[in-house]
Structure 1
Amino acid sequence: MDISMNTLILMLFLAALVYFVYEAFKMKELWSRKKLISWLGARLGILILLFLAWKGFGINLTNNETTTIFLADASLSVSEYKKEIEDYINYEIENKSKNERYAVIGFGEDTVIEVPLTYEKQVVRLSSNVKNNFTNLEKALDFSIDYFPENNNKKLVVITDKNENKGDINALRDKVKKKNVNIMVKEINNYKEMDVQLSSIEGPDNIEGYESIPLRVVLESNYEDSGYIYIYMNGSRVIASQVQAVPGENIYEYTLPLEGQNEIFIRGEIDFPGDENKFNNTFSLERRAGGIAKVLVISEKEEDERNINRLLDNLKIERVNYAPGALPDDLNFLSDFNLVILANTEYQNLPQGFADNLEKAVGNFGTGFLAVGGENSFALGGYEDTKLEGILPVSSRMQGKREQGDTGLVLLVDCSGSMDDEAGSVKKIELAKKGAAEAIKALEEEDYIGVLAFSDTLEWVVPYQKAGDKDRLTDEVEKLKSKGGTLIIPGLIDAAETLKNSEVKVRHIILLTDGQAEKDGFDKYIEEMKENNITLSTVAVGEDCDREVLDYLSGSLEGRQYYSTDFRTVPQIISKETRISQKKYLNNDAFEPKEYGNLFNTGGYELPDLKGYMGTGIKNGAEMMLASHYEDPILAVWDYGIGKAGAWTPDLSGKWSEDWIGWEGFNRYWSSIIDYLKKGDGGKNIRLRIDKEGGNVGLLAVYEGPYTEGEVSCTVTGPDNLEESINMVLSEKGEYAGSFSLNKEGRYKFTAFLKEGETVTERVEKSIYLDFSPEYELKYDEIKNMDRLIAECNGKYLNSNESVFDEAVLNKNVSYMDLSFIMLPMALLIFLVDILLRMGF
Structure 2
Amino acid sequence: STALVLDASPERARPLVSALEDAGFQVEIASAPAAPADVAGLARHDLVVLGEIPALDFSPSQLDALAAFVRDLGGGLLLLGGEQSLGPGGYARTAIEEVSPTAFDLKQERRRASLAEVIAVDFSGSMAAKAGEHTKLELANEAAVRSADLLGEGDRLGVLHVDAAPHWTVPLAPVVDKAKIAERIRAVGPGGGGIFVDLTLETAYAALRKETTQLKHLLLFADGSDAEERTRAPALVARAKAAGITTSVVALGSGKDVTALERLATLGGGRFYLIEDARRLPAVFAQETVLASRSAINEVRFVPAPRAAGPALRGIDFGAAPPLTGYVVTIPKNRAEVHLAGPEGDPVLATWSVGTGRAGVFTSDFSNRWGHAWTSWEGASRLFGQLSRQLARRAEDPRVRLQAEFENGGLAIRATALDARGRRDTFRRLRVVVSGPEGYQRTAPLEVIGPGHFGLELSPSRPGAYVMTLVDDVTGEPLATGGAVLASGIEQRPVGTDRALLGRVATLTGGKVRDTLAGIFRERERRRFAYSPLEPTLLATCAAALLLAVTARRLFVSIPRLRRATIERRSSASAASITGTLAALRARKRKARGEPAPPSEQTAEAAQPSAHEPSAGSPPRAATPAPKPPLRPPERGRTAAEILLERRRRRLR
Query: Normalised by the size of structure 2, how large is the TM-score?
Result: 0.63
Q: Residue 703 of structure 1: which of 405, 414, 419 is its match?
A: 419
Q: Residue 510 of structure 1: which of 219, 226, 230 is its match?
A: 219
Deviation at 1:488, TM superposition (A): 4.3
Instruction: Output aligned runs, 1:819-834, within 5 Å.
Output: none
Q: Residue 370 of structure 2: which of 656, 659, 664 is its match?
A: 656
| Secondary structure of the corresponding residue to residue 87 of structure 2 | coil
Instruction: Output aligned runs, 1:233-244, within 5 Å.
Output: none
Structure 1 contact 516–545 (Cα < 8 Å) conserved: no
Instruction: Output aligned runs, 1:672-751, within 5 Å.
Output: 672-683=386-397, 686=399, 688=401, 699-704=415-420, 712-716=428-432, 720=436, 724-728=444-448, 736-740=452-456
Counterpart residue number, 1:596: 307
Counterpart residue number, 1:197: none
Counterpart residue number, 2:100: 392
User: Taking structure 1 as reference, are residues 795 and 373 closer, same or farther at Cα in structure 2, changes over 3 Å only?
Assistant: same
User: Taking structure 1 as reference, are residues 770 and 712 closer, same or farther at Cα in structure 2, changes over 3 Å only?
Assistant: farther
1:704 & 1:678 partners in 2: Cα distance? Answer: 25
Counterpart residue number, 1:448: 156
* Pair 1:339-2:339 in alignment: no
Structure 2 contact 43–467 (Cα < 8 Å) conserved: no
Residue ranges of structure 2 left out of the alignment (5+ in a row): 534-653
Q: Residue 439 of structure 1: which of 137, 147, 160 is its match?
A: 147
Structure 1 contact 712–728 (Cα < 8 Å) conserved: no
Instruction: Output aligned runs, 1:404-443, within 5 Å.
Output: 404-413=112-121, 422=129, 424=131, 432-443=140-151
Counterpart residue number, 2:290: 579
User: Taking structure 1 as reference, are residues 635 and 784 closer, same or farther at Cα in structure 2, changes over 3 Å only?
Assistant: same
| Secondary structure of the corresponding residue to residue 147 of structure 2 | helix
Deviation at 1:670, TM superposition (A): 0.4
Name the aligned partner's letter for residue 670 of structure 1: F
Deviations 1:752-772 (CA, angstroms, capped at 9, x unpaired):
6667x5364x83557799999
2:517 & 2:205 partners in 1: Cα distance? Answer: 91
Rg (Cα) greater in structure = 2
Deviation at 1:701, TM superposition (A): 1.7
Deviations 1:3-29 (CA, angstroms, capped at 9, x unpaired):
xxxxxxxxxxxxxxxxxxxxxxxxxxx
Query: Normalised by the size of structure 1, how large is the TM-score?
Result: 0.50
User: Taking structure 1 as reference, are residues 393 and 491 closer, same or farther at Cα in structure 2, changes over 3 Å only?
Assistant: same
User: Taking structure 1 as reference, are residues 545 and 632 closer, same or farther at Cα in structure 2, changes over 3 Å only?
Assistant: farther
Q: Residue 668 of structure 1: which of 379, 382, 394 is its match?
A: 382
Q: Residue 325 of structure 2: which of 590, 597, 611 is its match?
A: 611
Deviation at 1:368, TM superposition (A): 2.2
Counterpart residue number, 2:270: 559
Structure 1 contact 584–615 (Cα < 8 Å) conserved: yes
Residue ranges of structure 1 left out of the alignment (5+ in a row): 1-292, 821-841
1:565 & 1:750 partners in 2: Cα distance? Answer: 34
| Secondary structure of the corresponding residue to residue 620 of structure 1 | coil
Deviation at 1:680, TM superposition (A): 2.0
Structure 1 contact 701–752 (Cα < 8 Å) conserved: no
- Which structure has more strand as a fraction of its residues? 1
* Pair 1:540-2:260 in alignment: no
Deviations 1:150-198 (CA, angstroms, capped at 9, x unpaired):
xxxxxxxxxxxxxxxxxxxxxxxxxxxxxxxxxxxxxxxxxxxxxxxxx
Identity %: 23
Structure 1 contact 344–375 (Cα < 8 Å) conserved: yes
Counterpart residue number, 1:243: none
2:136 & 2:499 partners in 1: Cα distance? Answer: 65
2:238 & 2:503 partners in 1: Cα distance? Answer: 95
Name the aligned partner's letter for residue 453 of structure 2: A
Deviations 1:285-305 (CA, angstroms, capped at 9, x unpaired):
xxxxxxxx2224445664665
Name the aligned partner's letter for residue 527 of structure 2: V
User: Taking structure 1 as reference, are residues 370 and 789 closer, same or farther at Cα in structure 2, changes over 3 Å only?
Assistant: same
Name the aligned partner's letter for residue 403 of structure 1: R
Q: Count the aligned residue pairs.
A: 509
- Which structure has more helix as a fraction of its residues? 2
Deviations 1:286-342 (CA, angstroms, capped at 9, x unpaired):
xxxxxxx22244456646655544433343312345555565565555455322333
* Pair 1:627-2:341 in alignment: yes
User: Taking structure 1 as reference, are residues 710 and 590 closer, same or farther at Cα in structure 2, changes over 3 Å only?
Assistant: farther
| Secondary structure of the corresponding residue to residue 286 of structure 2 | helix
1:375 & 1:796 partners in 2: Cα distance? Answer: 75
Deviations 1:670-720 (CA, angstroms, capped at 9, x unpaired):
011011112221337x3549799998886432222699x996344456794
Name the aligned partner's letter for residue 325 of structure 2: K
Counterpart residue number, 1:763: 479
Structure 1 contact 413–453 (Cα < 8 Å) conserved: yes
Deviation at 1:595, TM superposition (A): 2.6
Structure 1 contact 304–343 (Cα < 8 Å) conserved: no
